[in-house]
Structure 1
Amino acid sequence: MKFESFKAGRWQARYQYKSFEPVPVNHEWRWEDPGINALLEQATRALGELNAFSLIVPDIDLFIEMHVVKEAQTSSKIEGTQTGIDEALMPEEQIRPEKRDDWREVRNYIDAVNTAVAELNSLPLSNRLLKQTHAILMRGVRGEHRQPGEFRTSQNWIGGSSLADATFVPPHHESVPELMSDLEKFWHNEYIVVPHLIRAAISHYQFETVHPFLDGNGRIGRLLIPLYLISHGLLSKPSLYLSDFFERNRASYYDALMRVRSSNDLIHWVRFFLSGVAQTATKGRDTFQQILALRNQVEQQLLQLGKRTPNARQALNVLYRKPMVTAAYLEQELRLSHPTVNALLRDFIRLGVLREVTGAARNRLYVFEPYLELFIR
């Protein structure tokens, strides 16, 4: 199938509405547009540079955890949650009651990402894995009663208050199993020659068009991208997430997806997607470089602490995973006494590593601000 002659699907009349029935995607793909080749080369190079950091940076998993938090917060923000990245790091008791539902959705996403990536060690990328991940995402939050972990058995829609005024109506639920089976085969089809980044672009479009779950499709569809890249060896660690790019270009993101359905313009979507990969991978590479520079700077500062330096280094490793902590959390993680941890906290504040942000006498929160700011930019 050539991009230039692609027909995305057809509108099928239903009772009082029409659903969009997309064509299958598990086949060869070709294109004439030279711009795609240039963008594909650029995105592949940037992705390789990002992945190199996963292979050479010591203790890389310390820093990957914050990438996951950033993705969870940003992907959830696209869906309307109002949890900031600093709030996502706080314990639930520190979150205002009216914001806890949003907070739980973000924390569920973090659990879903971590579980799905771990499952790839024993389970291939599959609809089964996506269903398991969806069940975690919906656990105890809005949407928990909307068939968590199962493909939908009723019609859904995007935008509007009902099927009558919807922005887009995905395929009828009876089409979902066959379309998702075709998509799963596309992920693993070794008999077609299609670059993985092109497959990832088409897969995200197709998943969002099928909209196989009653809720949570945007988040699972965006998570599908790094899962695909990890499962096919393009990434060693979950270090590339496109939600930040999609959120900053939200209108263009939705427009690019809709242009495929309304105008068969797959080329526009693929170009947008590849640009996103290139920009996001380059930004991720730069963030890793900034993390390493900060790490060297802080390590030098810790040498001033003399015999307390070993404990300080252990505390710093905790802060790379969770840059907003309480004294009690550090005591638990480091298995150190209350006075020892308080002495460390005073040292870190004096060195400018930590800042206390509550101003309270009890349940104080300390933030590793120079590090956290790298993920807010």
Structure 2
Amino acid sequence: MQGTLKLPPSREYLAQEIDNIVTGCNLILSDLKAGRVLTSGMVKKLNQIVLDKLRLDEEVMPGEIRGHAVSVGRYQAPPAQDCEYLLGRLCEWLNSEAFNPKPEMVIVYAILKAVLAHLYLAWVHPFGDGNGRTARLVEFQILIASGVPAPAAHLLSNHYNQTRTEYYRQLDQASRSGGDALPFVLYATQGLLDGLRSQLQDIREQQLDVAWRNYVHEAFSDKKSPSDARRRHLVLDLSRSAGPLPFSELSEVSPRIAAAYARKTVKTLSRDVKALIRMGLLVQEPGGLRACRDRILAFLPPKTETDAAGN
């Protein structure tokens, strides 16, 4: 079922912006399947898409090179008459041998290429509006074309949105430095690295959760009584708790557990808890009872100690 995002009238444009970005990503994927490379025409099409159905100034023509001077803060963008040439030269450079690495360096070069493409598009500022969103889509195109998975290809854009103030500071610093792109590259790649670590941690947590639930079901594979089903549900639902729960709160850990123990005595709950402790599925701690999800860690291969940064 397709959901509908409902926003108050003052923020309805945000839903349209999201729809436009999704359309842009879909166009990029279809172009890649057709074997098309990044061109100035493609960049113009992406700008047209990100501005579709949005309220714009009269002088802004979606997908067309701006015809007026632009300044962003203290930065004065190139003259309008130079933008067509500069956009074309940028696309030529991005498709040149300068970004044609050895196979083992494809992803590294793609990340550098994507960040530089974003920065240079921000400098050229070829369109009357939507330059930042267009630059983010160009980044996505470059990363996805190099084989970066889609969830990771969105991380740079997420980083800019989550650190908006620093993003604009870095752009301003890059423009005032006379063209030193290295600080912006470092800022962007650090955000990408942090995003990848966060994604990997989420994946690891999900894998551990699946492994733990399979482990619990295996522990009850030869136990078929109603009390065994109740105990299995208790330990699985307690696994979702962020920390240990006092015994007095166990029967309310989830709706199905509340229903299961609604007509049971405290002795029944106590007996079930003791059985789960004997099975090694629950453990009593000072703060209460918790599921022994860490038992799964014993099945993981050993690894070397890492430093605080995870290197």
Answer whether TM exceeds 0.5 for this pair: yes
Quote the residue 2:289 is aligned against.
none
- Give, as a single letter, the amino acid of the residue that structure 2 aligns with 1:252: E
Aligned Cα root-mean-square deviation (Å): 3.2
Offset at 1:133?
1.8
SS at match of 2:71: coil
Deviation string, structure 1 residues 160-180 (Cα, Å, up to 9, x no partner): xxxxxxx32211111111111
Quote the residue 2:29 is aligned against.
117
Offset at 1:107?
1.8
Deviation string, structure 1 residues 178-212 (Cα, Å, up to 9, x no partner): 11111101111125667333222222111101011
CA distance in structure 1 between the aligned counterparts of 2:17 and 2:51, rounded to whole angstroms: 8
SS at match of 2:72: coil
Deviation string, structure 1 residues 233-258 (Cα, Å, up to 9, x no partner): 3x143532212222332222222222
* Identity level (%): 22
Quote the residue 1:136 is aligned against.
49
SS at match of 1:139: coil
- Give, as a single letter, the amino acid of the residue that structure 2 aligns with 1:273: A
Quote the residue 1:263 is aligned against.
177
TM-score (norm 1): 0.49
Alignment of 1:331-370 (within 5 A): none
Quote the residue 2:81 is aligned against.
174
- Give, as a single letter, the amino acid of the residue that structure 1 aligns with 2:28: A
Does residue 189 of the first structure (1) align with residue 71 of the second (2)?
no
Quote the residue 2:230 is aligned against.
none
- Give, as a single letter, the amino acid of the residue that structure 1 aligns with 2:181: L
Alignment of 1:221-236 (within 5 A): 221-233=135-147, 235-236=148-149
Offset at 1:99?
2.5
Quote the residue 1:95 is aligned against.
7
- Give, as a single letter, the amino acid of the residue that structure 2 aligns with 1:287: D
Among candidates 178, 188, 201, match of residue 273 of structure 1: 188
- Give, as a single letter, the amino acid of the residue that structure 2 aligns with 1:141: L
Is the 8 Å Cα contact of residues 150 and 213 (structure 1) preserved in structure 2? yes
Does residue 217 of the first structure (1) align with residue 131 of the second (2)?
yes
Is the 8 Å Cα contact of residues 208 and 217 (structure 1) preserved in structure 2? yes
- Give, as a single letter, the amino acid of the residue that structure 2 aligns with 1:96: P
CA distance in structure 2 between the aligned counterparts of 1:135 and 1:128, rounded to whole angstroms: 11
- Give, as a single letter, the amino acid of the residue that structure 1 aligns with 2:84: P
Is the 8 Å Cα contact of residues 23 and 49 (structure 2) preserved in structure 1? yes
Quote the residue 2:40 is aligned against.
127
- Give, as a single letter, the amino acid of the residue that structure 1 aligns with 2:169: D
Is the 8 Å Cα contact of residues 20 and 51 (structure 2) preserved in structure 1? yes
Deviation string, structure 1 residues 345-367 (Cα, Å, up to 9, x no partner): xxxx9679xxxxxxxxxxxxxxx
* Unaligned 5+ runs, structure 1: 1-88, 160-166, 302-348, 353-377
TM-score (norm 2): 0.58
Relative distance call for 1:296 and 1:105 in structure 2 (3 A) is farther
Relative distance call for 1:351 and 1:292 in structure 2 (3 A) is farther
Does residue 286 of the first structure (1) align with residue 201 of the second (2)?
yes
CA distance in structure 2 between the aligned counterparts of 1:287 and 1:127, rounded to whole angstroms: 37
- Give, as a single letter, the amino acid of the residue that structure 2 aligns with 1:269: F
Deviation string, structure 1 residues 63-101 (Cα, Å, up to 9, x no partner): xxxxxxxxxxxxxxxxxxxxxxxxxx8525x43333322
SS at match of 2:160: helix
Quote the residue 1:105 is aligned against.
17
Offset at 1:297?
8.2
Does residue 199 of the first structure (1) align with residue 113 of the second (2)?
yes
- Give, as a single letter, the amino acid of the residue that structure 2 aligns with 1:186: W
Relative distance call for 1:95 and 1:202 in structure 2 (3 A) is closer
Is the 8 Å Cα contact of residues 117 and 238 (structure 1) preserved in structure 2? no
Offset at 1:217?
0.6
SS at match of 1:171: coil
Deviation string, structure 1 residues 142-162 (Cα, Å, up to 9, x no partner): 238521122222222324xxx
Relative distance call for 1:270 and 1:99 in structure 2 (3 A) is closer
CA distance in structure 1 between the aligned counterparts of 2:191 and 2:162, rounded to whole angstroms: 11
Quote the residue 1:84 is aligned against.
none
CA distance in structure 1 between the aligned counterparts of 2:64 and 2:213, rounded to whole angstroms: 47
Number of residues paired by the alignment? 209
Among candidates 125, 130, 149, match of residue 63 of structure 2: 149
